[in-house]
Amino acid sequence: MGTNDKFGVSHVRSLRTSIARSYPPKNDPDNMTHHSRRQFLGIVGASAVASTGFAQSANAQETPIVEMGNNYFDPIGLRVDPGTTVQFELAAGAHSATAYADRIPEGASAFDSGTISDGSFEYTFETPGTYDYYCIPHKSIGMVGRIVVGSPGGPAEEDSIPDGEVPSSEAIVDQGTVAYGSSSDGSGNTGGGMMGRGGSGMMSGRNGGGVGGLPAVGGVLGMLGVLGGGLYWLGNQKSPQSTTDDSARKTLQNRYARGEIDEEEYRRRRERLDATDEDISN
């Protein structure tokens, strides 16, 4: 046998020996079991690490959004981890996201977007605890919200919110988010405001006890205005003056819904229109 043939045989034997060391004999069940177990555990471990990394990455990239609509924040209750940036996004009208200076955790800064009519506002919550906030133009009619960072705590947990109604911190932590108009939490702190969530307030939320589920006081008054205008037309056969008054009412209601005038100004102008109607009818 030549030198090359000997080298080839030796090379094949060496290769077989290496393969035999790497893989257990087919007839050795114990070795096969241990080998399979090691492979399985390795795959599971790698998958767990990959899944954890993916979840952490997704959470880190997620930015919760609070919608600012016609006199409501949605969700009205939100729970986030410290370091989370929350985006307050304008959906309609002109609103603000303004923290109660005396209803945030000690050491935290009071955020304030100012009244905005378009775009959004972002704030990063660093200090754990409970944050209550409101809308400057619609505070008096109960446009309020609550954010729990980490776990509840701070002055907001000591007494009821002075305007409107918010879910309890326990419900917020338990659910993660509490939608505006949700009836899942009936034990929230209340201040007797008009913005209830299906309770005794005038506004019970978009899906709660409001008239037709309308989300704003402007919507309710708008519905009443339309009905009242229809009855007035039937009784007065749509005189030129009544047409003008109806148009003025609709314009007034639209300006109020957009946040261009506050509640006090809206009521004052509405009373003036009503007084004009009474003078004409008399």
Q: What is the pLDDT of residues 206-226, one digit of tens each?
A: 443 343 344 445 555 666 666
Tell me the binding residues for Cu cation: 95, 135, 138, 143
- CATH code, residues 65-208: 2.60.40.420
More confident residue, 59 or 242: 242
Q: What is the pLDDT of residues 91-148, one digit of tens each?
A: 999 999 999 999 999 999 999 999 999 999 999 999 999 999 999 999 999 999 999 9
What is the structure's pLDDT at 222?
A: 62
Q: Other CB atoms closer than 10 Å to residue 171's CB: what's the count?
A: 20
What is the structure's pLDDT at 34?
A: 53
Residues in the chain: 282
Residue with tokens 């009519």: 117
More confident residue, 253 or 42: 253
pTM for the structure as a whole: 0.49
Q: Other CB atoms closer than 10 Å to residue 230's CB: what's the count?
A: 11
Q: What is the pLDDT of residues 168-206, one digit of tens each?
A: 999 999 999 999 988 654 445 444 333 443 333 333 334
CATH 2.60.40.420 domain residues, the chain: 65-208
What b-and-e string marks burial along 26-53, b requiring 16 or more CB atoms within 10 Å of the CB?
eeeeeeeeeeeeeeeeeeeeeeeeeeee
Tell me the binding residues: 95, 135, 138, 143
More confident residue, 152 or 37: 152
- Mean pLDDT over the full length of the chain: 73
What is the structure's pLDDT at 220?
A: 58
**Is the pLDDT at 59 greater than 50, yes or no?**
no
Give the tokens for residue 149. 């960072």
Residue with tokens 């410290």: 82
What is the structure's pLDDT at 20?
A: 47
Work out the angle at residue 207's Cα, subtended by the Cα atoms of residues 194 and 162, and round it to the nearest 5 degrees: 25
**Is the pLDDT at 251 greater than 90, yes or no?**
no
> pLDDT band at 49, cuts 50/70/90?
very low
Cα gap 95→99, rounded to integer Å: 13
